[in-house]
Chains A and B, each alone.
Chain A
Amino acid sequence: MIDFSPADQVVEVGAGMAIAELQSLLGAEGQCLPLPDPAEWGAAAAGYPGTVGGLLACNLPHGYMAACGMPRDWVLGAILRRPDGTEAKSGSRAVKSVAGYDAHKLGVGAWGRGLRYVRVILRTYPTKGLPTMSIVQSAPVQSPVFIQRCLRSDFDSVLRQTPGVVAHDPQTQVIWSQERPTTPPKAG
């Protein structure tokens, strides 16, 4: 951890820090990244086990998404390593900023391609403000897990047609399943 300001709800960490370690450091100050407790939620706990860099690179749906957004919404800035090895900064420690092109968003969901996170600045959440989750867990989890997200109006039928569902969230229309989904993705 490079810097943590609970009063600002902003933390700057090395991208290699384990999520579990970061959560315990933040937890000591009543803060957290809004990710479900893996012991309780298994598959629905995106980011565990793993690192901060991995969390952003995958940007997976999770149980608090409806109220707290996706990892992409938490990244305020970063030091990035470019493919040629040079490093550059993007963003800031402020919770909002419109200053140039947000290079720090480019690694989000990129699965490690292109820019690498060296350090990231993230916003944290007060633990006591966490909402109740609407995830329904239906089976114990074994990896790997497939994730689908669909339109609200398609949710019931997609859920019915998906084999091996382990969890679903009617609020965000995310379905976690152990078997490859058979429903073809719909346009829209």
Chain B
Amino acid sequence: MGESDIFAGLASVLPPERILGSEAARRVYAHDAYTVDRSAPDVIVLPETTEEAQAVIRWCLVHQVPFTPRGAGTGLSGGAMAAKGGVILSTKRLNRILQIDIPNRRLHAQAGVANLKLSQAVAAEGFHFAPDPSSQSVSTLGGNIAENSGGPHTLKYGVTAPHILAMTWIDNAGEVRTWGTGVEGGPGPDLLSVLVGSEGTLGFVTEAWVKLTPLPARVETLLASFPSVVAATETVAEIIAAGVIPAALEMMDRNILVAVQAAFGLEVPAGTEAMLLVECDGSPAAAQAEIEEVFAICQRFGAIELKLAANEAERKHLWTARKKGVGAMGRLAPTVVTHDGVIPRSKLPEMLTFVYEVAEAERLGVANIFHAGDGNLHPCFYFDDREPGVVERVVRAGERILTKCIELGGSVSGEHGIGVEKVDFMPLMFSEADLALQGDVKRMFPTSEFANPCKVLPTQKGCVEHQRRWRGAAH
């Protein structure tokens, strides 16, 4: 079916001003924040209600037009890319908070509401929505659910899944379903946990009830500088082993610090090779006791400098390097590719050494800024993509790093998901029998080859040919 037929057909179920099909729009929606692979949709639709979204999905199913859900498009694995063209089902207009229920510590919102808006809506009442991906000012509730997103405070508060109480979603047969109740932990199989993190391949989420978490009474933030990466990673392992559960435990290496120093004038003590940002929260007494213990551990492992935030302004300042690190990397080279892998955290020293070795062998710049407390690495390779052969080396470096993550008992993705980017890596981590089980899990839900195709599981119908079209389309 051609673009104009799709446009005309969908105009029978949605007001035409909420169907975009211009060349410019199609280009913008051809990729998410993972820009290597690109595939333009035919049209983009902007439903405002569950019913409208359902009408679009039903139309697509009847007319065999592929459709792909999309939130803010900050995903880093191509999950929101229209792999076979067709329709992008955007949540841009599903942007209302429907109900705030402070007595029961929950909030009901449409899937397109930005993560940060949820927290802002209840901050005055002393609450927040705890999952805090670094993209939280734009990334949406629906995207967070799809990717089971984490963030700096995941170490203590967990990923998105435990914060979702109930969801309204449209399955891939076009039926509206509501799963979960307003109360957590009901009886029966935990299907909600399977749906969260399924990368928008099992259905389209339109609304969710989320759990609200009280803001901590006290937050203590410490920035520690270390003379070597090994000293910093060993400190991380020791903090965890000592039984402290900080709210956040983040690490930045020298190359990130150089970029942030250049971009934002961050002071970096001489001889610093790595910094740790540690946050402890809770009751004033608990937060104080924990941060003191962390302070002592950092000293024992040879920290050069320890800075404790005295107030909120200083706390924000200490977070500068962490929050702006990836952005500042633009200063190092024209192109930056951020990888995502996760390992048992005691293996951090070994893993980081390996990352540097790979970068050197492949002649690439690498900077590391990541959720150390969770063992979730984000090696950022920076390079000039006009250099012949460099993209192949970046891809190879990524593959070697992910293979090592698996070898160490970890996973090919901590939080960015499989999307289209890592589909071919799934067999590295899972055997045929394991993948067959996942295929069956998918088939427990209504499936359609037109619903968000070519994501997560390898060897889907017709995807190999399409992959040839989109793979590396940016170049």
The chain A residues found within 8 Å of chain B, CB to CB, are 5-10, 30, 59, 61, 65, 69-70, 72-73, 80, 82, 86-103, 105-110, 113-114, 126-129, 149-153, 173, 187-188
Contacts and interface: CB of A to CB of B under 8 A. Distances in A.
Q: Is the interface of B mostly helix, strand, loop or mixed?
A: loop
A30 B418 contact: no
Contacts of B441: 101-103, 106
A59 B191 CA distance: 13
A188 B342 contact: no
A10 B147 CA distance: 23
Contact of B162 (A73, A82, A98, A109): A73
Q: Is the interface of A mostly helix, strand, loop or mixed?
A: loop
Interface in B364-417: 374-376, 405-406, 409-417
A151 B185 contact: no
25 contacts: A7-B240, A59-B185, A70-B185, A82-B440, A87-B433, A92-B409, A92-B410, A92-B411, A92-B429, A94-B342, A94-B343, A94-B344, A95-B344, A96-B414, A97-B411, A98-B418, A99-B418, A99-B430, A100-B430, A103-B441, A106-B441, A108-B190, A149-B183, A152-B104, A173-B183
B411 A94 contact: yes
Given A92-B410, A149-B186, A99 B429 contact: yes
B244 A129 contact: yes
A57 to B, nearest CB: 10
Interface in B331-383: 342-347, 374-376
B433 A88 contact: yes
Interface string B37-52: 0000000000000000
Nearest to B245: A129
A103 B416 contact: no
Interface residues of B, number: 71
A7 B346 CA distance: 6
A136 B338 CA distance: 49
B437 A109 contact: no
Nearest to A113: B189
Contacts of B406: 92
B147 A98 contact: yes
B323 interface: no
Nearest to B342: A94
B22 interface: no
A22 B415 CA distance: 30
B240 A100 contact: no
Contacts of B207: none
B374 A95 contact: yes
A7 B436 contact: no
Contact of A8 (B184, B346, B413): B346
B402 to A, nearest CB: 10
A82 B437 contact: yes
A65 B184 CA distance: 11
A101 B441 CA distance: 7
Most B CB within 10 A of own CB, among A65, A102, A107, A150: A102
A97 B243 contact: no
A101 B162 contact: no
B429 A101 contact: no
A98 B415 CA distance: 6
A174 to B, nearest CB: 9
Most B CB within 10 A of own CB, among A86, A89, A173: A89
Contacts of A97: 342, 410-411, 413-414
Please name the 7 residue pairs, one residue from A and one from B, whose CB atoms are nearest each other, closest first.
A126-B243, A97-B411, A93-B409, A7-B346, A88-B437, A94-B342, A8-B344
Interface stretch (B9-17, B193-201, B263-271, B460-468): B193-201
B187 interface: yes
Most B CB within 10 A of own CB, among A93, A95, A129: A95
B314 interface: no
B78 to A, nearest CB: 14
Most B CB within 10 A of own CB, among A98, A106, A128: A98
B453 interface: no
B311 interface: no
A152 B184 CA distance: 11
A30 B162 contact: no
B158 A73 contact: yes
A45 B244 CA distance: 24
A94 B375 contact: yes
B374 to A, nearest CB: 5
Contacts of B426: 99-100
B4 interface: no
Contacts of A109: 187-190
Contacts of B190: 59, 72, 105-106, 108-110
Interface string B304-345: 000000000000000000000000000000000000001111
Contact of B438 (A9, A90, A96, A107): A90
B434 interface: yes
B255 interface: no
A131 to B, nearest CB: 9
Contacts of A101: 194, 198, 438, 441-442, 456
A7 B230 CA distance: 16
B429 to A, nearest CB: 6
A34 to B, nearest CB: 11
A100 B343 contact: no
A103 B183 contact: no
Contacts of B6: none
